[in-house]
Structure 1
Amino acid sequence: MYTVPDLREHGGADAFLRNCSSRAVLDLLTNKWVCLVIGALRPGTMRFGELRRRLDGITQKMLTQTLRELERAGLVHRDLYPSVPPKVEYSLTPLGQNVGVLMDAIRVWAEDHIDDIRNAQLAYDARANEELQPV
């Protein structure tokens, strides 16, 4: 049986290992709002209000938290302009643009396959209900 070596010994990362720090990156990227914020920013710079209108269903608090996480991770750049009221714009960094390609592909795949997934769920639920019927 083949065992995958621990790549950390050689300067690599292995997200399958529980203590690998790359899991923190996976935790960040698997958040639905992170995926959607990055996707919304791919075309270009947006202000907070524009982002909130684009991301139907997100609360102001969640958008603020998500943007802060993304800025902290180096995926989003925040520009603050000294005006009254203050003007703040958000854009993707080169690293954010890079991961945005992946996020966009996942979003497109989800949109293209929603019917397949829903049909599979309905079929599974129907089989599960049949199995519960007494004979």
Structure 2
Amino acid sequence: MLKRIFSFLKQIPLALRYGVLLAVALIIVKTLEYQLFSYRLNMELYTGLIAAFFMLIGLAFSLGWFSMQSKRQKRDADSNTPKEALTAKEIKLLQGLENGLTNQQLADTHCLSVNTIKTHLKSLYRKLDVSNRSEAVAKAKKWALI
């Protein structure tokens, strides 16, 4: 049931969600203020309720209920292409990585310095959204780049 509600809420535009959230918060705060000033609630209870409300808001943000970031990450993960097009040099470096060549061997093969190879590899890792050689080779094979 809650999953249905949250999936429905995620379809509502972000600005509208924030607007409704702030409107509900304002109604709650004004109701509590009215009750406080009419001496139905003491100040500690009022402060505790406000703190609990903001704690729930923080929890909602941490779980990603109000975030579009998770949708972007999921869409990017499902993608079958790199974020940016790979250059011919990066494809050749991927083939070298597939063959298990070291940075020095790649540099010797392509007549480049080791630092230039490292720079190309960093760019390649960024485009493929990976952090090391084995992930780069695996993703390149998955996407049929090599």
TM-score of the superposition, structure 1-length normalised?
0.37
Which one has the bigger helix percentage? Answer: 2
The structure that has the greater radius of gyration is: 2
